[in-house]
C-alpha cells in the first residue's frame, strides 16, 4: 500500500511539479515517506517546487521538542528531501487569541497556495481524521481542537509520551481542505 500511495504522489509531482500537498503525521504515512525519500535519493523525484502543509500539531508543544510533529516531519521527510516550502501549524504555548490568529494566518497561507492538490490522511482508532475528533465542528480550516482520551493514549504510545504528559489539544488544519482537495489517498491506521 505504501508503495502504491508513494507512486501516486510521485506521479502527481511529475505531472505538476509545483504541487501543493497536505501531509499527516502518525503511523499511517511513515512507509509512504520512506518510499518518497528513497525515490528522491535515487534522483527520481524532485520536491524543489512542492509546497507542503502539515495537518496538525500538538498544543502546547514547541517545535524543537522531539515529540512535536514539526520534529516528526523533519525526521521522516523534510530533512531528507529538497522541499523548501513546508509548513506545520505552530504548537508553541501562547494565549488562545494568538492561536486563533495563527490559525487564520495558516488558513490564508493555504489559500494563497491555491488549496491542496493532494491530501494524504490517516484515520485514528476513534474515527478522527487528522486530529479532527468525531463531533468537532470548526468554523474554519485551521482551528484548535480538544483531543479525545483514545487519541491521546494512541498518540502517547506512538510519540513516546505518557498520556498524562500528552497534550490535550491540537492545532489543526483539516476541515475545509478535506472537502476541497482533488485527491485523497490513504488507509486506516
Active site residues: 56, 126, 128, 133
Q: In terms of Cα–Cα distance, which of 152, 138, 62, 133 is closest to 100?
A: 138
DSSP state for residue 129 in the 8-state scheme: B
For residue 60, is the peptide bond before it cis, meaning its omega torsion is within 30 degrees of 0?
Answer: yes
Q: In this structure, are strands 85-87 and 51-54 parallel, antiparallel, or unpaired?
A: parallel
Sheet holding 51-54, edge to edge: 85-87, 51-54, 20-23, 118-119
Helix (H, G, I), strand (E, B) or coil at 172: strand
**Left (φ > 0), alpha (ψ -120 to 50) or beta: where does 84 sit?**
alpha
How distant, in Å, are the alpha carbons of 45, 61, 158 from that of 88? 22, 12, 19
Q: In terms of Cα–Cα distance, which of 76, 65, 63, 62 is closest to 26?
A: 76
Amino acid at each position: 500500500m505504501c508503495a502504491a500511495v508513494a507512486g501516486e504522489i510521485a506521479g502527481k509531482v511529475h505531472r505538476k511539479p509545483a504541487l501543493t500537498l497536505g501531509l499527516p503525521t502518525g503511523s499511517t504515512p511513515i512507509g509512504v515517506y520512506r518510499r518518497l525519500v528513497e525515490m528522491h535519493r535515487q534522483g527520481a523525484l524532485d520536491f524543489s517546487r512542492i509546497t507542503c502543509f502539515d495537518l496538525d500539531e500538538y498544543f502546547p508543544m514547541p517545535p524543537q521538542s522531539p515529540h512535536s510533529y514539526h520534529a516528526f516531519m523533519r525526521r521522516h521527510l523534510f530533512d531528507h528531501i529538497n522541499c523548501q516550502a513546508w509548513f506545520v501549524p505552530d504548537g508553541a504555548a501562547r494565549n488562545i487569541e494568538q492561536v486563533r490568529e495563527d490559525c487564520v494566518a495558516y488558513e490564508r497561507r493555504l489559500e494563497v497556495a491555491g488549496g491542496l492538490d493532494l491530501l494524504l490522511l490517516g484515520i485514528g482508532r476513534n474515527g478522527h481524521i487528522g486530529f479532527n475528533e468525531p463531533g468537532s465542528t470548526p468554523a474554519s480550516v485551521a482551528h484548535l481542537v480538544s483531543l479525545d482520551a483514545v487519541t491521546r493514549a494512541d498518540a502517547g504510545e506512538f510519540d513516546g509520551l505518557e498520556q498524562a504528559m500528552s497534550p490535550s489539544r491540537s492545532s489543526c488544519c483539516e476541515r475545509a481542505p478535506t472537502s476541497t482537495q482533488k485527491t485523497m489517498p490513504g488507509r486506516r491506521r
